Chain A
């Protein structure tokens, strides 16, 4: 359809001025946007107040929808399952056989672990989560990977707390509203989690790639010792994440590390547990030391 010719509205002065100021306003809006962008990229928390107020406002509707989400996703999985069942059954049978062996090994390890811990007189330190809540949304069209959960400062959530699902680490809290909070998922490119290989404690970092996977970068150099299928757990260094939480499994090797897929797909997770920060950040910060190994 042809545009109504708004640019030349005839002899009406009012219409002409209205038109003119419309364009002025549009350019002014663009300029204000640029200023906002400069402020917010310089100081990422600059607009978090308004943003979290808005998320709090939208949270009730999102919570209602979140209940339907897991239901609808399982339906889709049933449909796709028909096409892949044969291959899957074969794979699962093989995995069960392997898992039985592993289970026996694990039982032995657990026993040994308990014995060693008793020897060292370590406390079990089983932390209770601050709150268990629903995932209610994620920034599904932006390249930044944030998710929203349905609990906020009213439920005792503070910035920096780690969030996990039954399958493993999901991310940490970066902004809090009164009834909702925003998480930085481990797959975001700004997220960097100190990790180790579960089997031998090989140290490294898991940096998000923004496409649903994480890049494992090792602290050591030389021959890449990682193999496909290696389980990666958090190492606990840095004090944000508790040590020994499962995070990802290696799926492909790169020259200096590996690509790993997080175990807990946020899309499959309905409930998550928010855990208190592993170590309290001391009130008086000692003399600034150079931070080892990248940003967090």
Chain B
């Protein structure tokens, strides 16, 4: 169940008869939210070690699990391209990994159509682990020489933050479907 909206937002879309969701809002919100997550390197946190989870990737997986098929399968390419602009990884890293993740998530959606949150979390954790490890390998190809042990704290944080990201996605999903357009 998606969480209820804050009361101010609930009042916002109150007259519901002959109202429909705005298509602009409904379509743009998922993309914007993932891009906002990709912007996390400009958030006011300056770290001398990788500590923050890859928010863009968490939100992408969150959307794909809450609303399978909302993003087209090729969405990994444009969103990954945007993420690469800010992430500091070698350019193309997120394009490859996000595209591969979207294809794999699409496969899992069709293989296991009915899932509980526990299974979603498990799948997401596997994806996050694979994503961080591959990203590390790619960063090392591009000139770094980091040990995989450096990832452990970040991996723990990312796996624990995933449910929060999923709640955020659910909230954004409620927001994007508020009926504000007069039919």
From B16-24, B25-33, B139-147, B175-183, the one touching the partner chain is B139-147
| B77 CB contact (under 8 Å) in A33, A138, A189 | A33
A41, CB-defined interface residue at 8 Å: yes
Contact check, B99 vs A41: say whether CB atoms are below 8 A apart: no
Residues in B with CB closer than 8 Å to A34 are 92, 96
Which interface class (under 10, 10 to 19, 20 to 34, 35 or more) fits A? 35 or more
When chains A and B are docked, how far (Å) is the Cα of A147 from the Cα of B86? 10
User: A72's closest neighbor in chain B, by CB?
Assistant: B44
Contact check, A142 vs B42: say whether CB atoms are below 8 A apart: no
B54, CB-defined interface residue at 8 Å: yes
Residues in A with CB closer than 8 Å to B147 are 209-210
Q: How far is the CB of A179 from chain B (nearest CB, A)?
A: 13
Contact check, B68 vs A3: say whether CB atoms are below 8 A apart: yes
Residues in A with CB closer than 8 Å to B51 are 140-141
A7, CB-defined interface residue at 8 Å: yes
Binary contact track B82-97/A, C-beta < 8 Å → 1, others 0: 0011111111110110
| B93 CB contact (under 8 Å) in A37, A44, A210 | A37
Contact check, B49 vs A187: say whether CB atoms are below 8 A apart: yes
| A4 CB contact (under 8 Å) in B43, B69, B89 | B69
Given A3-B69, A55-B42, 9 new contacts (CB under 8 A): A3-B113, A136-B42, A140-B41, A141-B51, A141-B87, A142-B135, A143-B135, A209-B147, A212-B47
Residues of chain A having any CB pair with chain B under 8 Å: 1-4, 6-7, 22-23, 25-30, 32-41, 44, 46-47, 50-51, 54-55, 58-59, 61-62, 65-66, 68-69, 72, 135-148, 182, 185, 187-190, 209-212, 262, 265-267, 269
A-B contact pairs, 21 of them (CB 8 A): A3-B68, A7-B110, A26-B73, A26-B74, A33-B77, A34-B92, A36-B84, A38-B92, A55-B42, A137-B42, A137-B44, A142-B41, A142-B50, A143-B146, A144-B139, A148-B42, A189-B140, A189-B145, A210-B150, A211-B150, A265-B48
